[in-house]
Structure 1
Amino acid sequence: YHIPDILLGIEQECKKLGCNLIIQDTCNEQEMENVLIRKFKNENILGMIIYPTCHEFFNDEIMRLKLDNFPFVIVDQYWSQLDAHFVHSDNKKGTYEATKHLIEAGHREIGLLYDIDWNANNTRNRIEGYEQCLIDNAIPVRKDYLFDTTLNTARLPLGIENDVIESMMDFITSNNQITAYLCSSMLFLEAIKRLGIKLGEDLSAIFVDDSFLAKHYNPALTVIRQQNQEMGRRAFDILLNWGKLQEKNVVLDTELIVRESVGRLHS
């Protein structure tokens, strides 16, 4: 849901200056990413804003951009091994605050549903925030409360998507002591619907990132909102002022938007 908002932020800045924005989709394939980087590098462009493929390490073409001092910015990702410009969210802080909100609502058995293949570094930061909050509140960290769908659900054929939903259903029913979840996938909503579970009453959940669906779902979803348009704007500003800005790692705050998907647990 957040990629269109990042693009909107970039597009708004381009329009102000009369710049043309060229968009290419890598389909989350690293080889396609390499091909497109080589292609754009040979064209007369201001620079590249790269939403990288979802791998733990950057690819060779990104390193070549750095070695050639070609203007580029990485958005929604951070690699400490690469000395480059990054604009991304404080995912650790976001899940820390979300977990704290669940604890304050009386929940102590809290699960985390994530997709490590979608963005490994962001997922790792979210897990760290979740676990740190549990530790700070004297709640045991249980690795068996973490569920990895292992699939990029944004591009799944219907049959495989159904497999993910069914695996979520199995996890939820096998862990009925869990009263609340942090979720990176909206497929969770379909899973609990099939199980006849009422969100906000039988089970609570907080979702990563805001969307039109989150606002208008019944009940409205509590979310960790990211500054996606600002991410795009800041990335464009770095390209526009290439070589002038000292700050390389721009970390944007997240905001917990409290709606109706978290119920208070009464002891």
Structure 2
Amino acid sequence: MHKPEKESHAKTMKAMYMQIVSELRARILSGELTHGSRISTEFEIAQQYHVSRGTVRQALSELTREGLLERIQGSGTFVRSAALTHGSDMTISTQKNIGVILNQATDELNMKLLRGIEQSVKSRGYQVIFAYSEENEQLLARDIARLQLTTEGLIIFPLSNKSTDNAIARLKHVGFPFVLVDRYMTELDSDYVVSDNVGGGYRATEHLAILGHTRIGFAYSRAGGRQTTSVRDRWEGYRKALSEYQRPYDDSLLFADLLTGSEPDSARFDEILRRPDRPGAIFAVNDWVALEFIKAAARTGVRIPEDVALVGFDDLSYAELLSVPLTTVAQQGIAMGIQAGTLLINRIEKHVLGAAKHIVLPTQLIVRQSCGARLQVLSSPDEEHN
């Protein structure tokens, strides 16, 4: 198993461990699992969540340390009759929860958001119950309805390619506190915390223009089209930089609907790089799209950055480990989670009132080898000898 695959597997297992802990904790605190009741066996829970018994054992041990469960040798695991949380004097009846509905269990940005959210809310006496929508509208609506019953408020990573959402709109209608994260909805004004995607898209494109590229492509995936605000805003930044640096905007240099992930459309990426009129540089909407171009370059004999310069977006952990280290725009995933958690609790506790708050966090261009900047420096004449 390659290192990125190992890291992805480890993060998935960590996510599942946290999900088991959060969901069992919520069932205990809500009274669904009554005091003294016996919970399912390790084997049954492992089957339910599709994880190893070791992962389940760790989750149950965590809940035992919290004082919510007790394990009786030869009998099983039971809900404690006088459960206390985290060694505090706060009883079950006063335990406060917030719900977090993220996008994908294996996505690195989602994990950073969750870390930030947990860091911010636990310090203020709240626990996190989370779920994943997996880009499924029905699943999102179901989780919103379920978590609305057991939490004080919600943090939601919206679905792709949506300008509004009925389930989220209902939360606003009834006044239930929620904060959107990473994306916002153009037809539904609400609290949100996002990255400066316009600025990040601008800086990525500006960098390529400064390096001398005149034909700069913009590539994005089927998973997130231009109705997805993060994608649309990066495209807006791309267009703004082209205009200010007097580069032509050409629809033929927009590469849309690309498949990435476990089943990428390899032939499509190869075809783009084999085009006789291919662009000299490509701004990929995220690092996953950029990775597919690097793999396609290896298949087609195209050199990055000598033949095509490449810039991504996200600065995922593998970006600097690729065969050609990736120039990319870094997001502050953990800080985004911290801000979202803080804003939500301030809404819940009435420290923030009135109009929707829009928090936009700065991004940063990280220059590595894939853009070709290093080549230009190395090929520049030594001015001291002129």
Identity among equivalent positions (%) equals 31
Measured after TM superposition, the shift of residue 122 of structure 1 is 1.5
Residues 164, 187 of structure 2: 8 Å contact kept: no
Find out whether 1:203 has 2:272 as its counterpart.
no
* Distance in 2 (alpha carbons) for counterparts of 1:141 and 1:104: 16
Equivalent residue, structure 1, for 2:206? 100
* Distance in 1 (alpha carbons) for counterparts of 2:256 and 2:167: 29
Deviations 1:199-218 (A, max 9, x none): 22222100011111112223
Alignment of 1:134-153 (within 5 A): 134-151=242-259, 153=260
* Distance in 2 (alpha carbons) for counterparts of 1:59 and 1:233: 24
Measured after TM superposition, the shift of residue 127 of structure 1 is 1.2
* Distance in 2 (alpha carbons) for counterparts of 1:18 and 1:199: 50
Equivalent residue, structure 2, for 1:53? 159
Equivalent residue, structure 1, for 2:128? 21
Root mean square deviation, CA, Å:
2.0
Deviations 1:176-216 (A, max 9, x none): 44111111212222111211222222221000111111122
Find out whether 1:36 has 2:143 as its counterpart.
yes
Choose from 269, 273, 279 the match for 1:178: 279
Find out whether 1:256 has 2:365 as its counterpart.
yes
Name the stretch that deviates more: 113-122 or 28-37: 113-122
Equivalent residue, structure 1, for 2:237? 129
Measured after TM superposition, the shift of residue 146 of structure 1 is 0.5
Residues 46, 239 of structure 1: 8 Å contact kept: no
Find out whether 1:9 has 2:127 as its counterpart.
no
Deviations 1:150-198 (A, max 9, x none): 54x34x4x3xx2xx12111112211544111111212222111211222
Runs of 4+ in 1 over 4 A off after TM superposition: none
* Distance in 2 (alpha carbons) for counterparts of 1:149 and 1:196: 24
Larger radius of gyration: 2
| SS of structure 1 residue aligned to 2:310 | strand
Aligned residues: 259
Residues 116, 123 of structure 1: 8 Å contact kept: no
Equivalent residue, structure 2, for 1:241? 346
Deviations 1:21-70 (A, max 9, x none): 11211111111101110111112x13111011113222111011001111
Unaligned runs of 5+ in 2: 1-107, 380-386
| SS of structure 2 residue aligned to 1:57 | coil
* Distance in 2 (alpha carbons) for counterparts of 1:83 and 1:149: 28
Which of the pair has the greater relative contact order for Cα pairs under 8 Å at 6+ separation?
1
| SS of structure 2 residue aligned to 1:53 | coil
* Distance in 1 (alpha carbons) for counterparts of 2:303 and 2:115: 35
| SS of structure 1 residue aligned to 2:301 | coil
Unaligned runs of 5+ in 1: none
Alignment of 1:64-103 (within 5 A): 64-103=170-209
Choose from 291, 295, 298 the match for 1:193: 298
Measured after TM superposition, the shift of residue 143 of structure 1 is 0.5
- Alpha-carbon spacing, 1:254–1:81, altered in 2? closer, same or farther (3 Å): same
Letter aligned with residue 90 of structure 1? D
* Distance in 1 (alpha carbons) for counterparts of 2:236 and 2:114: 28
Letter aligned with residue 137 of structure 2? Q
* Distance in 2 (alpha carbons) for counterparts of 1:11 and 1:194: 42
Measured after TM superposition, the shift of residue 78 of structure 1 is 1.6
- Alpha-carbon spacing, 1:226–1:56, altered in 2? closer, same or farther (3 Å): same
Letter aligned with residue 106 of structure 1? G
Alignment of 1:224-235 (within 5 A): 224-235=329-340
Name the stretch that deviates more: 193-202 or 204-213: 193-202
